[in-house]
Structure 1
Amino acid sequence: MFFSIIIPLYNRPQEIKELLETLVLQTYKQFEVLVIEDGSKDDAADIVKSFADKLDIKYFVKPNEGQGFTRNYGFERAKGDYFVIFDSDCLIPENYLQIVNDSLADNWLDAYGGPDAAHPSFTPVQKAISYSMTSPFTTGGIRGNKKGIGQFHPRSFNMGISRAVWEKAGGFIITRSGEDIEYSIRIHSMGFKIGLIPEAKVYHKRRTSFLQFYKQLHFFGRARINVYKFFPGELKLVHFFPAAFTLCLIFTVIANIFNWRIAIVCNGILAVIILLIFFHSLVKNKSVKIALLSLIASFIQLIAYGLGFMQDFWKRVILKLS
């Protein structure tokens, strides 16, 4: 099978260099790489050119439209049997394409997604953020999990679609704010087979600071409501969990300030959550520092997502504003 790897890029030349270095090492060689510069001011033209003798690589420059429509631009120019989408802040294990090729040969999927993990070279903050986004104690636990809740929706940092999907479903119809979830739901509704390839992991850097992480997760919370506007039935009880956690946390603070009796119960529940996250991260990462940072990352994730979710739920669902 011949793969077309499509990478939208916006002002991140150093990231694409590190990603391309990992693609050079792929053990499976039947692939091309399409890098699409989405209106960047800090472009990666020279960096991409330096890989011309190492990869079958093509470089395109277009006006800024966002990652969804930029991927569509790549789909239109790809020659592969299967299109693979990566975010520019990913590192790809050398056997990734071999795993995907073998998996599709054994169990065909029209579209697939894979999990993410923390690379040993990541900073403690990046490892803590990676933990939070994959932990069973946060909403990230439903991503890349064999026992995920409900229908599996591939995410665009690590996602593949067959050419047949592209020809029938087209590409992304929204360019950001939940565009990958909308696309996954639409593909599934057309009868295509979608699944997880659990071994096809990538190392996803995500954000390098807690402030950046907060902004990203706040946007993710708002994006869930954007998906709801397209598919109301896809708003599940689990999606309300970060908002409920945030409201309960606010209530706990108020209860302690006014010395309400119920504060004892609230504090006990909060203590259990903290201990679960800390010791689970400690076992997984074997680092007290990362376990402590994981607590911060997990609370940021839940609060930021919860606030973003409540903001747009109130605005777009209750008040029915656009």
Structure 2
Amino acid sequence: MISVVIPLYNKEHTITRTLGTVLNQTYKDFEVVIINDGSTDNGVSVIQNFSTDSRIKIINQSNQGVSVARNEGVRNATYEYVAFLDGDDEWLPNYLSKMYEAIQKFPNAGLFCCAGKVRSGGKDYLRQADKYKNSIVEIDFFENPHVFVHTSATVVKKSEFSKTQGFPVGMKRNQDFALFFALALHTKTVFCGFPLSIYVGDVEGQATKAPFITVREHVCRRYNVVHKAWFDLGQANKTYLIFTKYELRHFFRGFLMKNEYDNIMFFRNNLEENLVHKFPSLEWVLYRKSFFKKFAILYINFTKLRWRLRGYPRLNY
């Protein structure tokens, strides 16, 4: 059986569509835990008028943010497996049945991810790892985590979730990555290569619309949370470090192209020192002055080529 956790904050315009895709699942052994995070609209009334299904329970709390809401949802979940769904996303009818199949096939895993679609601008884009298409397999999570994982396409084992700090409280961006990446260091990860979830973009109030400079401290905190978990677990996962350095350089290249040197230095000054020291000292020198811009970009391009030559896929966001 599966507990479905939905954080709710001012989603009266989308929640019935989202909830309808849950109630329409072919797999029926689930409960729905909705955490009303101090909504100021009529979302709760909309839900109550939409369905009287006994599997739905609504828990009200003052507005404390999505991390607190999700953590509270897990705490109130009855079952060992918890599926997350945001109040503006959707599932195809056989999503839960396919995820349950993955759980049955890999009972020792604690993190289950599913392919999906991204709906934006009136079009659907596929989020899929092609080599795992139409299969259910255990994966090396840090091979390409941004393709593998999305909040509304993830199921976690509650006992493994409890080994982490949960969704970091107070983060306005990347709180889901912080949790799932850290969890992937604790437990085995399974990928379900069937596109059965839909992330709906272009929705009013989404945090991803915030300017980067207003959320960079939260992005930086994500790296620190995950790196600390990696360090505390004995630095055993080698792919994690390869991926993290690649991803940070991917960011840095974008900053260099826009002459946003202050963003690079913000990361240099706020990342965990242990992570900073994983980069050569000379590399940080290249990032400091516009005079070295061409050399810095050339160096990053070289490291990206090495990533590809080592057999890793091109990253997707």
Smaller-chain TM-score range?
0.5 to 0.7
Match for 1:154 among 144, 149, 154?
149
The aligned amino acid for 2:191 is: L
Residues 15-42 of structure 1: CA distance to partner in whole angstroms, max 9, x if unpaired? 1111011112111100010111111111
Q: Could you state the TM-score of these two structures normalised by the residue count of structure 1?
A: 0.64
Q: How does 1:96-245 map to 2 (within 5 A)?
A: 96-108=95-107, 109-118=109-118, 123-124=121-122, 127=123, 131=125, 134=127, 150=143, 152=145, 154-169=149-164, 171-176=166-171, 177-190=173-186, 192-199=187-194, 201-208=196-203, 214-215=209-210, 222-232=217-227, 235-245=244-254
In the alignment, the residues of structure 1 paired with residue 89 and residue 251 of structure 2 have an alpha-carbon distance, to the nearest angstrom, of 26
Name the SS for the 1:29 alignment partner. coil
Q: What residue is the counterpart of 1:38 in the other structure?
A: 37
Using the TM superposition, give the Cα deviation of residue 150 of structure 1 relative to its aligned residue in structure 2, in angstroms. Answer: 2.9
Report deviation, 1:47: 1.6
Secondary structure, in 3 states, of the residue corresponding to 2:83?
Answer: strand
Aligned identity (percent) is: 19
Write the distance in 2 (CA, Å) between the matches of 1:213 and 1:30: 33
Distance 2:128 2:264 in 1: 22
* C-alpha distance after superposition, 1:1-28 (max 9, x if no partner): x110000011111211110111121111
Q: Which residue does 2:72 correspond to in 1?
A: 73
Match of 1:316 among 260, 270, 292: 270
Q: After superposition, give the CA deviation of every residue in 1:57-95 in whole Å (9 maximum; x if it has no partner).
A: 011110111111111111111111211111111011001
Give the structure with the larger strand fraction: 2
CA distance in 2, matches of 1:216, 1:134: 24
Local SS of the residue matching 1:7: strand
Kept in 2: contact 1:10–1:40 (CA 8 A): yes
- Residues 229 and 166 (structure 1 numbering): CA distance in 2 closer, same or farther, change over 3 Å? closer
**Residue of structure 2 equivalent to 1:28:** 27
CA change 1:228–1:14 in 2 (3 A) is: same
Deviates more, 1:54-63 or 1:11-20: 54-63
Deviation of 1:222 after TM superposition, in Å, equals 4.8
Distance 1:135 1:46, change over 3 A: same
Bigger fraction of residues in helix: 1
1:155-202 Cα offsets, whole Å, 9 max, x none, are 323221112224444632334332222222332343x21232222531
1:318 & 1:149 partners in 2: Cα distance?
19
Aligned-partner residue type, residue 237 of structure 1: Y
Partner of 1:90: 89
Question: Structure 2 vs 1, CA of residues 212 and 181 (structure 1 numbering), >3 Å: closer, same or farther?
Answer: closer
Contact residue 9 and residue 35 of structure 1 kept, 8 A: yes
> Any conservation in 1 of the 2:80–2:158 contact (CA below 8 Å)?
yes
- The amino acid that maps onto 1:91 is E
- Cα distance, 1:45 vs. partner? 1.6
Instruction: Tell me the amino acid that sits aligned with residue 34 of structure 2.
Output: V
- Cα distance in 2 between the residues matched to 1:75 and 1:213: 23
Counterparts of 1:216 and 1:157, CA distance in 2: 23
Contact 1:24 / 1:55 at 8 angstroms: preserved in 2? no
Separation (CA, whole Å) in 2 of partners of 1:101 and 1:199: 13
CA distance in 2, matches of 1:10, 1:197: 29
What corresponds to 1:258 in structure 2?
none
The number of equivalent residue pairs is 245
Counterpart of 1:181, as a letter, is F
Going from structure 1 to structure 2, the CA distance change for 1:311 and 1:205 (only over 3 Å counts) comes to: farther
Distance 1:218 1:105 in 2: 43
TM-score, normalisation: structure 2: 0.65
Q: 1:206 to 1:312 in 2, by over 3 A?
A: farther
Opposite residue 5 of structure 1, the aligned amino acid is V
Cα distance in 1 between the residues matched to 2:262 and 2:94: 37
Query: Which ranges in structure 1 are unaligned for 5 or more consecutive residues?
Result: 137-145, 252-305
Inter-partner Cα distance in structure 1 for 2:269 and 2:209: 20
